[in-house]
Amino acid sequence: MADALQDVLQEVDRGINESIVALQRVVQQPSISSQNIGVRECAELLVSMMTDLGVEARVMETEGLPVVYGEIQSPRPDAPTLVIYNHYDVQPPEPLEEWDYPPFGAEIVDFVMYGRGTTDAKGNLLCHLRAIAAYRDAGVDLPCNIKLVFDGEEESGSPSLPGWVKAHTDLLQADAALSFDGGFGGSNRPRINFGSSGLLFVEIRARGAEKDLHSARARLVQNPAWRLVWALSQLKGPDGRINLPGFYDAIRPVTALERGMLERSGWDDSAQQRDLGVESFIDGVSGVDAYERLLFTPTCNIAGFGTGWMGEGHKTVLPSRAACRLDFRLVADQDPQVILQTLRAFLDDHGCEDFELEDMGSIEPSRTALDNPFADVVVDAANAVYGVEPETQPTGDASGRQGVWLGGMLGGIPAAGTGVGPPAWRGHAGNEFMTLDHYRNGIRYAVTIWDMFGQRMKGTGA
């Protein structure tokens, strides 16, 4: 088995020029989901490339932009099945003046490829396709069955993905889930996470008189801004506790393994505070306790508040409208739709039945247990390929529908998220880039994960 792996890794090196051309080809095809520019064309391109590699691939419709789905089977008996999530859509390139190279040119300068999507996430995605090519060209059987889910809406919040996954749960059955996205941290070590925060984003609107009034009328007419302030003060007090009934009931406790991972992380209060531009954290929390709060504590944040007059000069008005936007960062196993319903009931119970509540988007939290062989596979593969201990997180503070989220949607199968891009890869900014060395090692990383997964985990018939 070791000799077979070495044969495949050598094939990765021999085929690197073809892999580079493949990445250029995909980067040169725009796929901007927020503007629906080139997304379907990119989906068809990926299907063509996958078919050439022997993958059974097709474009599958959603309520929005399409998913590209493909699968390829291992001939090995009892081979486990790995479902891999990536996204092929990208952010808009604007402002164009921030680019030194054409954003969809995929130009290579000094062994660095520049272009939108080189790291986020077409470079990460291509690592899996080129891993399939390396196994094929080396004449080595795939060690596991592979199912590929390429999302066309990730940069727009993946609004159609939950419905698509629920409609195709049987198709997606697997023994583990994986995603590649983004890149390394400043230490130039691979990062691996085993979860992500959930999100509920809402707007609350309060109304008063039909139009803004002279502020002297505040003696007689209710001010919607005050009503909104009073409601928010009931929702969360100075102690920081969120007062929605049952808000904390579903939260999954932090395990000893997860706490241990935090303790080994090298968390640095001073570095974090310097980066955030603050002198201390809320309640004076520090050290590993601060890191645990960041990853495992839900929030209710006022993201915006609008009412009245704040322009130049004096204008004393009684506003007729007030609105705020709240985002709740949620942790496993909180349900954003349950939180939304509870918030509606909370407002009604506090005399705010007339407040409008708009759901502006939600994402389910995800977290996979660390005591499973797949977590060890991804960590050990990173060590083998990069020769360093990876940065690991038991879950993430940000939100997203990627590999660990998909694992949760498929019944809680083991899952992990990682990425192969270089540090400071300029995600969502001008001059996004991928070094050719990171790309090559990313293909080797995919190959090694698959090899270890095939050796250590037996299939369940997925």
* pLDDT reading at 416 higher than 90: yes
Single out the residue of 133, 109, 128 nearest to residue 14, CA to CA: 133
pLDDT over 80 (residue 348): yes
User: Considering Cα of 293, then 296, then 301, then 303, what sign does the dihedral take?
Assistant: positive
Report the DSSP beta bridge partners of residue 322: 206, 307
Q: Per-residue pLDDT averaged across 361-368, rounded? A: 94
Report strand pairing: 366-367 vs 195-196: antiparallel
Q: Compute the Cα dihedral for 380, 382, 383, 388 and give only its sign.
A: negative
In terms of Cα–Cα distance, which of 449, 448, 421 is closest to 126?
421
Report which of 114, 118, 137 is spatially closest to residue 127, judged by C-alpha positions: 118
- Residue 385, number of CB atoms within 10 A of its CB: 21
pLDDT band at 252 (very low <50, low <70, confident <90, very high): very high
Q: DSSP 3-state helix, strand, coil percentages of the chain (rounded to 5)?
A: 40, 20, 40
Going by pLDDT thresholds of 50, 70 and 90, the confidence category of residue 3 is confident
pLDDT number for residue 1 = 62
Q: What is the pLDDT of residue 461?
A: 60
Grouping H, G, I as helix, E, B as strand and the rest as coil, residue 431 is coil
Q: Is the pLDDT of residue 376 over 80?
A: yes
Are the C-beta atoms of 205 and 323 separated by less than 8 Å? Answer: yes
Provide, rounded to the nearest whole percent, the portion of the chain with pLDDT above 90.
94
Q: What are phi and psi for residue 420, nearest 5 degrees?
A: -120, 0
* Separation CA 56–CA 62 (nearest Å): 19
Q: What is the pLDDT of residue 462?
A: 65
How far apart CA 118 and CA 106 sit, in angstroms, is: 8
- C-beta of residue 33 within 8 angstroms of C-beta of residue 7: no
Of the pLDDT bands very low, low, confident and very high (cuts 50, 70, 90), residue 186 is: confident
pLDDT above 90 for 243: yes
Report yes or no: 208 and 223 within 8 Å, Cβ to Cβ.
yes
* Mean pLDDT, the chain, whole residue set: 96
Average pLDDT over residues 148-153: 98
pLDDT of 143 reads 97
Cα separation, 140 vs 138, whole angstroms: 5
Residue 331, pLDDT > 70, answer yes
pLDDT digits (tens, 9 = 90+) for 31-55: 999 999 999 999 999 999 999 999 9
Residues composing the chain: 462
User: C-alpha distances in angstroms, 88 versus 31, 175, 181?
Assistant: 7, 24, 10
284 phi and psi angles, rounded to 5 deg: 70, 15
Give this prediction's pTM.
0.91
Residue partners of 421: CB distance under 8 A and separation at least 6 = 118, 119, 120, 123, 124, 182, 183, 184, 434, 438, 442
The β-bridge relationship of strands 198-207 and 321-330 is antiparallel
Residue 141 or 460, more confident? 141
**Beta strand residue intervals within 161-282, DSSP E:** 176-180, 191-193, 195-196, 198-207, 213-214
pLDDT surpassing 90 at residue 460: no
Contact between residue 445 and residue 183 where contact means Cβ atoms under 8 Å apart:
no
Residues of the chain above pLDDT 70, percent: 99
Specify the pLDDT at position 187. Answer: 83
Residue 150: which H helix or E strand, with range? Answer: strand 145-151
Q: Are 414 and 375 in contact (CB under 8 A)?
A: yes
